[in-house]
Structure 1
């Protein structure tokens, strides 16, 4: 072919490609230089991964804590193609919950997220014990998104919103006026949804406020095998007097007088009290139009939750310690035992399982929020779950005052949280990478940055649950 004809052929080829008309028909009668033409036209195509050939080669942990975050193990999953994925084990959980899963994952393709979740889900449980499975699941989604060069939310079916609304709480003060001022400061920072910790610890020193209080002079737990904080709510037999209720309502009254009624305000940490006391507080709170009362009793007591919910117009909420839809959230939602479910994706089973919980809640007319108190990697994992779930309300931000929290990651344009919202990441995977220098700064004592873990390479157990 003459040079001028070859140039004409290339121009024709590129014109078709640029107009979106490139197809197999375009190659009919093409010259011997078609390989060069394809290479030129596809020069900007992402080649950092061949997803079908991707294999997991390692899993390691970097555990951080201190002034930047609650103690949190960060998971890193390595592959044969050089890309890595990150997730967080639940704050306060053991890193071994994730390391135990390594031998089940080596050699597998991380893009098979649902199938791998099916292999490891039996090793999670409620509370912090769900942290290993959940953190690994997030790291798998991060890898899959990077392999296919799309954000995680897109792999979940797309997004319902471009920005995710967050809520935050603040430090507690026994002075109602000071406490209200601290909440107003959050509003001044741009937050449009708030939560305050309010409960019997604020009135434990007031004579006549509590009956059988856990710090009474006669020490009701001195001969018990468990202390107050390890005793489930129905069994403490603590009662709140009328005086005690009035003192607690004073905090809500001063708070509402300060911030007004435009801002949704939820409450948490009321104390270990039984159903009757919870109902008493829910009814007393009605005049202050709380967005919800959270975790007033353990989530497992479904019938008691329903009794509280039906006794008052104050909305009820629970869920941060529940693992998975089946065996966890399903009964609470189906029986309408609470008004709002509040999974933490770092316990609930990860990103996809949390979306399943939200979709199931929507089907039954139940509200849906996210709890979160770990690092920014899983926080943004929560953002993808929230973006992809239609009935989502608000995501918890528990690190407002932690100056280096956002600096643990790189690749996010501007502050992660701005004016009370998070812009949904559009970069591949979860959308950020670790800032290893900052991570090193907050490693817990004795911990190394993603040290090798060969002792977890081999399975030493028979995992099948049936005969």
Structure 2
């Protein structure tokens, strides 16, 4: 069997809560990039790439000549070949990782279809039939609505008033719902202040505190680790085992969060999970901005690894998500069923995807950014800011 062609499908996707067809002139920055790899055996594999999708599409075009003629079942060989090909451009980041991921995902889909088995069977077999999910809630009303639907874990986000927000959520849902919090790695939050936030959250028993400092600030993770007794989580912005290595090997986190669309595909995710298992670290793939094909991939991975913890999911995502994928997975009682069809077990509605061309893929801070920037400072576009008004930040 040989690869004959690669096709890409780049679409605009609204953020959760937006209407299927927003008003004319509405802008958005969420893009989904899917690809299909065709073979001379008539078997097609599907994958998804994240990490700046509009740029990743160009990377895929550049890599296609290296794929044509290869046997798609040789996933490790192809992953090594593409890695070497990209090495001259520098370390593999989100663009290279996104390209590797979509390609690798599609190759495993082909391999599963060729053998007539789901991908999880190729990854070692199935440990669980359904995967627990967590969804997003920033108000008590949102949290209670999710709890009423059987979801047993939620995550709040944002960097404004985190302790007060967490305390309100805990009071609303009680002790039988896990709560995580994402601080989004703000480069202006010093390790000392992040450690103080972590200590203030200790009494509320967070499932984890995610990205408490900028992802490149590994020394900050060490300082927080020494100062507070709370689980830490990170890893969504890194790619491959080499990007996640220090977080795992130095035991800087309790939960590793490789992004299912840019970590390097099943070939890399399985290795990341194995490294994490050796350090008693759980795996909870990042999925916040991803489309539905990457979600299918996460289900196969989490079904097959012993340290799979939970999957991130917008339980009330954009209405177009259901239209994009066939079949659409259904959440029941806080879980998603693991698919049993050969390969990934899904496909995209190409007509619907093509009807929604990309409109943009970057965003800049504005006054609407809320508490992430001090009032009146968003126009400064500072990566590293001063932080005033600290007292309100730490109190519940």
TM bin (shorter chain): 0.7 to 0.9
Equivalent residue runs for 1:196-235 within 5 Å: 196-200=156-160
In structure 2, distance between residues paired with 1:110 and 1:293: 39
TM-score normalised according to structure 2 size? 0.80
Q: 2:116 aligns with which of 149, 172, 181?
A: 149
| CA RMSD between the two structures | 1.9
Question: Contact conserved, 1:89 with 1:98, CA < 8 A, in 2?
Answer: no
Matched, 1:251 2:165: yes
* Deviation for aligned residue 1:404: 2.5
Structure 1 residue 298: Cα displacement: 2.5
Query: Aligned residue for 1:168?
Result: 135
Determine the structure 2 residue equivalent to 1:376. Answer: 292
| Consecutive aligned runs of 4 or more in structure 1 exceeding 6 Å deviation | none
**Map of 2:324 onto structure 1:** 408
Query: Is residue 306 of structure 1 aligned with residue 222 of structure 2?
Result: yes
The reply to whether residue 104 of structure 1 matches residue 66 of structure 2 is yes
Q: Distance in 2 between matches of 1:62 and 1:402?
A: 18
Q: Does 1:353 align with 2:313?
A: no
User: Given the alignment, which residue of 9, 27, 42 partners 1:82?
Assistant: 42
Describe the SS at the equivalent of 1:355.
Answer: helix
- Give the distance between the partners of 2:192 and 2:314, measured in 1 at CA: 30
Higher relative contact order (CA 8 A, sep 6+): 2
Within the candidate set 11, 17, 33, 1:73 is matched to 33
Q: Report if the CA contact (8 A) 1:399-1:405 is conserved.
A: no
Give the match for residue 140 of structure 2.
Answer: 180
Q: Distance in 1 between matches of 2:277 and 2:118?
A: 24
Equivalent-residue separation in structure 2 for 1:292 and 1:438 (angstroms): 37
Aligned to 1:424: 338
The structure 1 residue matched to 2:175, chosen from 234, 248, 261, is 261
Corresponding position of 1:60: 7
Q: 1:441, CA displacement in angstroms?
A: 3.1
Distance 2:216 2:255 in 1: 15
For normalisation by structure 1, the TM-score amounts to 0.69
| Contact kept? 1:84, 1:143, Cα under 8 Å | yes
Looking at structure 2, the residues matched to 333 and 66 of structure 1 have their Cα atoms a distance apart, in angstroms, of 33
1:333 aligns to what? 248
Tell me, yes or no, if the aligned pair for 1:91 and 1:374 is still in contact at 8 Å. Answer: no
Is 1:125 paired with 2:40?
no
CA shift at 1:407, angstroms? 2.6
1:195 aligns with 2:111: no
Q: Measure how far apart 1:393 and its partner are.
A: 0.3
Is the radius of gyration larger for structure 1 or structure 2? Answer: 1
Change (3 A) 1:277 1:445: closer
Matched, 1:113 2:75: yes
Aligned equivalent of 1:229:
none
Sort the Cα spacing of 1:269 and 1:129 in 2 relative to 1 into closer, same or farther, 3 A. Answer: farther
Count of residue correspondences: 337
Q: What is the CA-CA distance between 1:337 and the residue it aligns to?
A: 1.3
Partner residue, 1:137: 104
Q: For 1:318 and 1:347, locate their aligned partners in 2 and report how far apart those are by CA, in whole Å.
A: 14
- Residue 83 of structure 1, CA deviation: 1.8
1:23-47 C-alpha deviation (Å, 9 max, x unpaired):
xxxxxxxxxxxxxxxxxxxxxxxxx
Gap regions ≥5 residues in structure 2? 17-29, 361-396
Deviation at 1:154, TM superposition (A): 0.6
C-alpha distance 106-133 of structure 1, shift in aligned 2 (>3 A)? same
Deviation, structure 1 residue 190: 2.3
